[in-house]
Amino acid sequence: MTRRYSKLTISLIAVVLGILVGCLILVITGRNPVNIFIALIRSLTGFSVNNPARGINIMYPLNWLLSSVPIILTGLSVAFAYRTGMFNIGGEGQFIAGSLACATVALLVDLPPVIHPIACILAGGIAGALWAFLPGFLKAFRNINEVVICVMMNYIALYFNDWFVRSFLPIDKLTLARTVAFPETVSLGDLSFGTASQFNYGVIFAILGVIIFWFIMEKTTFGYSLRATGFNSEGSRYAGMKNRRNTVLSMMIAGAFTGVAGAIVIIGSYGYGRIFTAFDNYGFDGISVALVGGSSAGGVLAAGLLFGLMNASETQFQILGIPSEVSDNIQAAIVFFVAIQYGIKIVLDLIGKHRMNKKVKEEVA
């Protein structure tokens, strides 16, 4: 008999297997696999296992949380769209649109402290939502695959951003590759506790994002109608639900999450408007986070913290002689094992069956 395994169980097994793959890579290349765990513990707790005399440096866990904030939000974006029957691969474009809107409000609108950064982040969320409107609209009213439109919109955002920044925003004359610095009124505040970390109050928006996602999806009739549309569009239409409206709104809400992520990153980590030469991959990381997190609010939060830890540990990997690419390999392996979850379930069933047979034989004996 086939057993039912929770998404959490599969994800935990995938994480363990992914880390084992990373260890195997180090063994094959003649490196010490224990260093992976030393690096992860250092980034997670700030404690240096191989040099306890250093004590605990909270800069490292703060950098871990800083790295996790944007991919939690992009993970929520992908998960929200997926729960409503769509695949939001346009996170990169929505992220850039949010960054651009944020930079525009930061540099061209004069507002007092506290209000200014909130206005910038709201502008980022609105821009991300508007950038996701077209894929949702074409999906709803012309049945055009949203993946195709999202991919094209990513590149449009990349080049539109560079044109807009050079044309309408004040450029830094020393570099000619960015805008001038944002005014001090745009600051998200300092939560570094005297360390060199850039950790800031942007984490509040990640927490709010998780709560909003959970509340909409699990506690509102609107969320139920969105999920019903994704689960069975014909059945929900027959039940009187507005499928086309739901499709457009779900993509726009998903885009808003990513737009907010773009705004938080550009304020908290850069402090100036950017001219993008390539994608930052936050949107693509969100796909992995949503997949590993099972597209639930709590799962995305946990997966975002995990992938943020992997990203934040890359520096520690290099210090310990581990190529930073090993972090990417571990993340890719985790996603791979989640993707083949049915294979993992088969193996678990075989193990359970073997244990049951062994127990029966012992009882008979």
Per-residue pLDDT of 213-228, as tens digits, reads 999 999 999 888 888 8
Kindly report the length of the chain. 365
Number of C-beta neighbours around residue 4 at 10 A: 6
Q: For residues 140-169, give the mean pLDDT.
A: 94
111 backbone φψ class: left, alpha, beta (φ>0; ψ -120 to 50): beta
Tokens standing for residue 358: 């062994």
3-state secondary structure 91-112: HHHHHHHHHHHHHHHHHHCCCC
- Residue 198, pLDDT > 70, answer yes
Alpha helices in the chain (DSSP H): 7-28, 34-45, 59-83, 91-108, 115-142, 146-168, 203-219, 221-231, 233-238, 243-265, 282-292, 297-312, 314-319, 325-339, 341-364
What tens digit of pLDDT does each residue of 273-325 get? 999 989 999 999 999 999 999 899 999 999 999 999 999 999 899 988 888 88
Q: How far is CA 142 from the centre of its chain?
A: 29
Closest by Cα among 100, 270, 98, 93 to 168: 100
List Cα–Cα distances, 307 to 220, 249, 293, 332, 347, in angstroms.
30, 28, 11, 10, 26
User: What pLDDT was estimated at residue 338?
Assistant: 85
The pLDDT confidence band at residue 340, using thresholds 50, 70 and 90, is: confident
Q: For residues 159-169, give the mean pLDDT.
A: 95
What tens digit of pLDDT does each residue of 341-355 get? 777 777 777 777 777
The pLDDT confidence band at residue 2, using thresholds 50, 70 and 90, is: very low
- Name residues whose C-beta falls within 8 Å of residue 285's C-beta, 6 or more positions apart in sequence: 71, 74, 75, 307, 311
- Name residues whose C-beta falls within 8 Å of residue 101's C-beta, 6 or more positions apart in sequence: 120, 123, 124, 126, 127, 259, 263
User: What pLDDT was estimated at residue 1?
Assistant: 43
Closest by Cα among 329, 191, 210 to 261: 210
The Cα 338–Cα 312 span in angstroms is 22
- Residue 183, pLDDT > 50, answer yes
Q: How far is CA 119 from the centre of its chain?
A: 22
User: What pLDDT was estimated at residue 40?
Assistant: 93
- Name residues whose C-beta falls within 8 Å of residue 308's C-beta, 6 or more positions apart in sequence: 64, 65, 67, 68, 69, 71, 72
Q: For the whole model, what pTM was predicted?
A: 0.91
What tens digit of pLDDT does each residue of 241-269 get? 788 898 999 999 999 999 999 999 999 99
Largest distance between two CA atoms of the chain: 85
More confident of the two residues 235 and 137: 137
What tens digit of pLDDT does each residue of 103-116 get? 999 999 999 999 99
- Residue 98, pLDDT > 70, answer yes
User: What pLDDT was estimated at residue 4?
Assistant: 60
The Cα 82–Cα 138 span in angstroms is 17
What tens digit of pLDDT does each residue of 11-59 get? 888 889 999 999 999 999 889 999 999 999 999 999 988 888 888 899 9
The backbone torsions φ and ψ at residue 273, rounded to the nearest 5 degrees and listed phi first, read -75, 140
Collapsed DSSP state (helix, strand, coil) of residue 288: helix
Q: For residues 107-135, give the mean pLDDT.
A: 96
The Cα 90–Cα 128 span in angstroms is 10
Provide the sign of the torsion angle of the four alpha carbons 340, 346, 348, 350, taken in this order: negative
Residue type (1 letter), 277 = T
